[in-house]
Structure 1
Amino acid sequence: MLPPRILRRLVLAPLVIEVTVFMLVTLPFWLVVTAAASLRLPPPQRRGPRFVWFGVAWLTLESAVLIACLWLWVAGGARRQERHYGLIKWFLSKVYAAAVRIFRLSTDIEEPEPTEEELAARLTRPIIVLSRHAGPGDSFLLIYHLLSRYRRRPRIVMKAALQYDPSLDVVVNRLPNAFVSRKSGQTRIIDEIRHLSATMSDQDALVIFPEGGNFTPRRRRLAIRRLEEKGLDAEAERARGMDHLLPPRPNGAIEAIEACPTADVIFVAHTGLDDLITMGDVWRKLPIAAHITAKWWRVPAGEIPHRRADRVRWLYDHWEQIDAWIAAQRLART
C-alpha cells in the first residue's frame, strides 16, 4: 500500500538525499569491492563497477531534482509547469549522458525527414504517441526525445507504485499526468487517458503503451487466450502472427484519439535491449556496449480512420509493421 503523500515527502525524499551522501562518501569502497568481485568473472560479465557508478550518478541527480523542487516550492514556483518540464529535461539529459559514458549507450532514431509544410504543422498540433513497451529505460528515453527532439511537454498515465521514487513522485505530480493503482481497473485508466488527451494544447504529447506491459512469451500466450475468450478471433489470429509484441489493447488509444481528434499519432518501435526485463536480466546480460535502434512513424490526424472497427484494424496494421521491423533489426544483428 502506497504511503500518504505527506509521509513520502517527509521520509522518502530526505532518505534519498541521505543515501546519496552515504554513497558518495563510501564510493571508493564500493568500487574496490565490486571490482574485486568481478575479477572472478570473464570480462563481458564484469559489470559491478559500472552499476555502482551509474547508481551513484542516478542518486546524485535524484537528490539534485529534489532540492530544486524544494527551492521551487519555497520560492512559490511549484505551479510553474515550464520550470518542471525543464527540470525533467535536465535530469533525463544527465541520465542519458551517464548511460552513454558508463554503458557506452548509443541510439539511432529513424524517421522520415519532414517537408517544411509538415514541420510547420507539427508545431501547431498535439500528438499521441503509441509505443511498444520492452526493455529497461524505454519510457525515460522516449520522454527525453519528446522533450529534446520534438520540444513537446509529455503527459502519461503511470502505475501508482512509481511514486515510491521521490523525485518522480514530486515532479510528475506537479504536472498533468496520472497515477493509477492496480486495483483501479481498466475503466479508471481509460478515464485518465481521456482526460489527459482532451486537455492537450498544441505543444503537448500523450504517451501510451498499448501493450500494457513488457513483452514475455507467457504474457503473449495469455493475451491471445483472452482475445479468444472474448470472441475476437480476427484479433487473436493477427496476434499469433506477431512474435515480438503483445497484441495492442485498443481502448486507450481510441479514447485518446476521440478525445483529441486534432492530434497526430506517432508509432514508436525500438529494439536492442528487449531481453533485459528484470534486474537479474540486466545484471546477467547487459552488453559491454548497449545500442538501441528506434523508428518513429507519424500519421497525420486527417489520415486516421473514423469508425471504431477501422481504428482497431488500423492499430493492428501498425503493430504488425512494428513487429516486422523488430524482426528485421534482429536478423540484421545476427
Structure 2
Amino acid sequence: MSIPPPPRPVRWLLAAGYPFIGAVVTALALVVVPLGVLLWPIDRRLRVARVMMLLLIAMWEDIGIVVGCWWLWLRALVRGREHWVEDHEALILAALDHAMTAAGRLIGFHVELDHELDWGDEGEPLVVLSRHAGPADSLALAWLLTGRARRVPRIVLADALLWDPGTALVLERLSSYFVPSASGAGDDRSRGVAELAASLGPRDAMLIFPEGRNWTIHRQQDLVTRLRAKGETERAAEAERWRHVLPPRPKGVVTILTTQPRCDVMVVAHTGLEVFSSPREVWRAIPFRSRLLVSARTYQRQDIPHDPAGIEHWLDERWDGVNAWVDSHRAGDY
C-alpha cells in the first residue's frame, strides 16, 4: 500500500523541527554507536555501529540541505535569483558527495562504470530511463548525473518521499515531480510528468524508472502469474523471459518523448546489489562486498520514434537489451 504524502503544514513543521530531531538522534547515537562496537564478539561486521553512523551522516546532510535552502531563500530576497538553480544544484552535489563517500567507507557501497558514459548533447536536455533494482540505485544515479554529467537532476519520484524534508524542499525548487499515489482519486498522474518534460532546460536531466518499482525476483515471478491470470499471455511470456527486469510501463515514457521530442535518451542498466531483495538481506550483507556496476547507452533524438506505438515498441527493445546486459554481468544467483 502506498504511503500518502504529508499535508503541506505538516511538511513545514517537519522542516522547522528537523534540526531538533537531528540533535535528539545524535544524542541517541552517542549511546548506540559505542554499544554497537562493544557487540563485536556477536556482530563481527559491526553492522549496528556502521548503519547508525551512516544514518547520522545522511540525516545531517539532509538537515544541511534544509538549512541551505532557507539561506538561499533569504539571500534571494535581497540579491534576487540570478544563480538560484546553480546554488541548489551545488547543495545537492555536496550532500550526495558526502553521503556517497560515507556509504563507501562505512558499508562498502561503491559505484563503478562499465565504460565511459555519453551524457548526450550538452546544449539539449537529457532523458534518463533506468532499471530500478537494489538499495540506493536512485541515489547513485542522481550523484552521477550531478557530479559526472554536471546536469541538473529533474526526477520523477513517489510522493511518499515528501516526508523527507531535504528531498522535498530542494527537488521541488528544482521542479522535480512527485507522482501522486494511485489511491489519490481523480489524480492525472501523467499531467505532472508532461509539465516537467515541457519545462526542461538545456542542462536538465529528467530521471525516470519505467518499471515503476524496485525489481525483485519475487515481484518478477508474481507479475508473470498475474499477467497470465488476466489473459495477457504475450506480455506474460515477455515478463518470464526478462528474468532481471520488470516490463516497463510505457505511459510515462510516451508522455515525456511526445512532449519533449528534442531530448537524447540514455538507457541505464546496472547490477550488483539486486540480490538484496529485503531489508534483512541488506542488513546481513553489510559491509557490501559487491559494487554497483553501471552501464548506459545514449540514443540520439533522431533515432527515437515519437509516435506512442513506436515509443512503446522501442522501449521494449531497450529493456530487452537491459535484461541481456544484466544477465551477462550479474555477480550472484537469485
With the shorter chain as reference, the TM-score category is 0.7 to 0.9
CA contact (8 A) 1:276 1:286 kept: no
d(CA) in 1 for partners of 2:68 and 2:279? 29
Question: Which consecutive aligned stretches of 4+ in structure 1 deviate over 6 angstroms post-superposition?
Answer: none
2:106 is aligned to 102
2:127 corresponds to 1:128: yes
d(CA) in 1 for partners of 2:153 and 2:319? 22
1:123 Cα shift? Answer: 0.6
| Cα distance change of structure 1 residues 300 and 51 upon mapping to structure 2, 3 Å threshold | same
Q: Which runs of 5+ in 2 are unaligned?
A: none
d(CA) in 1 for partners of 2:320 and 2:143? 26
2:321 corresponds to 1:318: no
1:310 Cα shift? Answer: 3.0
| Cα distance change of structure 1 residues 136 and 30 upon mapping to structure 2, 3 Å threshold | same
Q: CA offsets, 1:249-293, max 9 Å, x none?
A: 111111111111110110011111113344333212234434110
d(CA) in 1 for partners of 2:333 and 2:281? 20
Aligned residues: percent identity? 30
CA contact (8 A) 1:155 1:177 kept: yes
AA in 2 matched with 1:177: S
2:15 is aligned to 13
d(CA) in 2 for partners of 1:71 and 1:164? 21
| Cα distance change of structure 1 residues 49 and 186 upon mapping to structure 2, 3 Å threshold | farther
1:225 Cα shift? Answer: 4.9
| Cα root mean square deviation, aligned | 2.6
1:219 Cα shift? Answer: 2.4
Task: Report the secondary structure of 1:188's partner residue.
Answer: coil
2:303 corresponds to 1:270: no
Task: Report the secondary structure of 1:215's partner residue.
Answer: coil
| Cα distance change of structure 1 residues 307 and 168 upon mapping to structure 2, 3 Å threshold | closer
| Cα distance change of structure 1 residues 317 and 213 upon mapping to structure 2, 3 Å threshold | same
2:195 corresponds to 1:195: yes
Task: Report the secondary structure of 2:19's partner residue.
Answer: helix
| Cα distance change of structure 1 residues 82 and 186 upon mapping to structure 2, 3 Å threshold | farther
d(CA) in 2 for partners of 1:29 and 1:113? 44
1:32 is aligned to 34
d(CA) in 2 for partners of 1:59 and 1:314? 40
d(CA) in 2 for partners of 1:223 and 1:289? 30
CA contact (8 A) 2:275 2:332 kept: no
Alignment equivalent of 1:3, drawn from 6, 18, 39:
6
2:252 is aligned to 252
Q: CA offsets, 1:5-29, max 9 Å, x none?
A: 233222x224331232234445442
d(CA) in 1 for partners of 2:279 and 2:186? 27
Task: Report the secondary structure of 2:269's partner residue.
Answer: strand
Task: Report the secondary structure of 1:122's partner residue.
Answer: coil
TM-score, normalising length: structure 1: 0.88
1:13-162 equivalent positions in 2, closer than 5 A? 13-41=15-43, 43=44, 45-76=45-76, 80-111=84-115, 122-162=121-161
| Cα distance change of structure 1 residues 288 and 299 upon mapping to structure 2, 3 Å threshold | closer
2:167 is aligned to 168
AA in 2 matched with 1:255: T
| Structure with more of its chain in helix, by fraction | 1
AA in 2 matched with 1:174: R
| Cα distance change of structure 1 residues 187 and 305 upon mapping to structure 2, 3 Å threshold | farther
CA contact (8 A) 1:111 1:297 kept: no
| Cα distance change of structure 1 residues 187 and 241 upon mapping to structure 2, 3 Å threshold | farther
d(CA) in 1 for partners of 2:171 and 2:135? 19
CA contact (8 A) 1:103 1:289 kept: no
Q: CA offsets, 1:287-333, max 9 Å, x none?
A: 44341100011111011124433322221111111111111112589
CA contact (8 A) 1:156 1:206 kept: yes
The range that moved more, 135-144 or 59-68, is 59-68
1:327 is aligned to 327
d(CA) in 1 for partners of 2:58 and 2:306? 44
TM-score, normalising length: structure 2: 0.88
1:215 Cα shift? Answer: 1.2
Q: Which runs of 5+ in 1 are unaligned?
A: none
CA contact (8 A) 1:31 1:52 kept: yes
The range that moved more, 250-259 or 174-183, is 174-183
Task: Report the secondary structure of 1:76's partner residue.
Answer: helix
Task: Report the secondary structure of 1:8's partner residue.
Answer: helix
Task: Report the secondary structure of 1:75's partner residue.
Answer: helix
d(CA) in 1 for partners of 2:109 and 2:158? 27
CA contact (8 A) 2:133 2:214 kept: yes
CA contact (8 A) 1:263 1:301 kept: yes
